[in-house]
Amino acid sequence: MNLRALKYLIKLAELQHFSRAADACYVSQPTLSTQIRKLEEELGVQLVERAPRNVQLTPVGKDVVARARHVLRDVEQIYSVARRSRDPETGTLRLGLFPTLAPYLLPHVMPGIRQRFPRLRLELAEEKTADLLNKIDDGELDAGLIALPVGHDNLEHEVLFEEPFVMALPQNHPLASKDSIDVGDLDGAELLLLEDGHCLRDQALEVCAMANARERLDFHATSMETLRQMVAADVGVTLMPVMAVRPPIAQTQGIELRSFAKPAPHRTIALVWRRTSPLGELMRELATCFRALPDDLLAA
């Protein structure tokens, strides 16, 4: 079976357009079409429904694509084993992070990673947690930084740190007069939260359940910065991970930040990778770099 044809089929499944799939694969459209037809002839089934303005996979085509992703992932791992056996700390490492962590953590760890691994090129991807896990499983990413629990048996992980949450309040809010906040102080409160798909939303909902609080249903933010500005505009209150309010992030005028009394709500960040990956030892070395944070960065 031609692995190149499997790559073409996967790209066609993603783009649902022969011409765009061919461009993405750097081949002509006739070449891509011919390879997919040969694959259909070899398998004796129709993989693609072809119409002038509509290209979609048949049910068996979808099944083949799902399995082909795993085949190509395993093939890439074979090449990776060979490359890493020669020199584990060279080449490209594809690392994923979620949006409420990446911009706040990376400035603190990248200098140390570059110093420790001068010949390792990090290719960074910022995605929501579910997408990161899918891409790690499919082999599109080598590893990712995820908030535990992960819930995937095929992943290995190294815990990096626990990041406390702080409360972001408008300056005139009654809780702003307190030095610290008990979770019980949020009883009956409405919190501004991120939209579905962000792990920070799920973490905030867990705190809401603990505190008998609830989310504000008429507003869902698309980013941490939107949440920050809405609090400054006195629209409501929210939870923020502590790294999102530490330098080099500039403090937003109009916001008061309050830590929680112990035990403070927090999230646990881990480096995760496939159990079958040949990069396990490298991942554990990399985890050491991610743990090397300034002493006061995680202090709520």
pLDDT at 264: 86
112 in the same domain as 155: yes
The CATH number that applies at residue 43 is: 1.10.10.10
Exposed/middle/buried for residue 158 (C-beta within 10 Å: 0-12, 13-18, 19+): middle
Range of the domain at 105: 90-300
Q: Could you give the CA distance from residue 84 to residue 286 in angstroms, rounded to a whole number?
A: 15
Q: Could you give the CA distance from residue 231 to residue 209 in angstroms, rounded to a whole number?
A: 21
Task: Write down which residue in 37, 64, 82 finishes a domain.
Answer: 82
246 in the same domain as 292: yes
Asked whether 231 and 255 are in contact (CB, 8 A), the reply is yes
98 in the same domain as 70: no
Q: Could you give the CA distance from residue 172 to residue 255 in angstroms, rounded to a whole number?
A: 9
77 in the same domain as 94: no
Backbone angles phi, psi at 146, to 5 degrees: -130, 150
74 in the same domain as 101: no
65 in the same domain as 30: yes
Asked whether 222 and 194 are in contact (CB, 8 A), the reply is yes
Query: What angle in degrees, to the nearest 10, is found between the helix axes of 280-291 and 102-116?
Result: 110
96 in the same domain as 39: no
Contacts of 61 (CB under 8 A, 6+ apart): 9, 13, 46, 47, 48
166 in the same domain as 121: yes
Per the rule left: phi > 0, alpha: psi between -120 and 50, beta: everything else, 284 is alpha
pLDDT at 84: 65
266 in the same domain as 169: yes
pLDDT at 159: 97
Nearest in space to 265 (alpha carbons), one of 206, 188, 178 = 206
168 in the same domain as 26: no
Q: pLDDT tens for the chain, 300 residues: list them.
A: 889 999 999 999 999 999 999 999 999 999 999 999 999 999 999 999 987 777 899 999 999 999 999 999 888 878 877 776 677 688 889 999 999 999 999 999 999 999 999 999 999 999 999 999 999 998 889 999 999 998 878 899 999 999 999 999 999 999 999 999 998 899 988 899 998 888 888 888 888 888 888 888 888 888 999 999 999 999 989 999 999 998 888 888 999 999 999 888 999 999 999 998 888 889 999 999 999 998 889 987
Exposed/middle/buried for residue 227 (C-beta within 10 Å: 0-12, 13-18, 19+): buried
68 in the same domain as 214: no
The CATH number that applies at residue 277 is: 3.40.190.290
Cα–Cα–Cα angle for 179, 182, 184, rounded to 5 degrees: 145
**b/e per residue 132-141 (b: at least 16 CB within 10 A):** bbebbbebbb
Structural domain total, the chain: 2
Task: Write down which residue in 42, 63, 82 finishes a domain.
Answer: 82
191 in the same domain as 52: no
Task: Write down which residue in 82, 98, 113 finishes a domain.
Answer: 82
pLDDT at 85: 66
Exposed/middle/buried for residue 123 (C-beta within 10 Å: 0-12, 13-18, 19+): exposed
Give the β-pairing of 48-51 and 54-57. antiparallel
The alpha carbons of the chain give a radius of gyration, in whole angstroms, of: 23
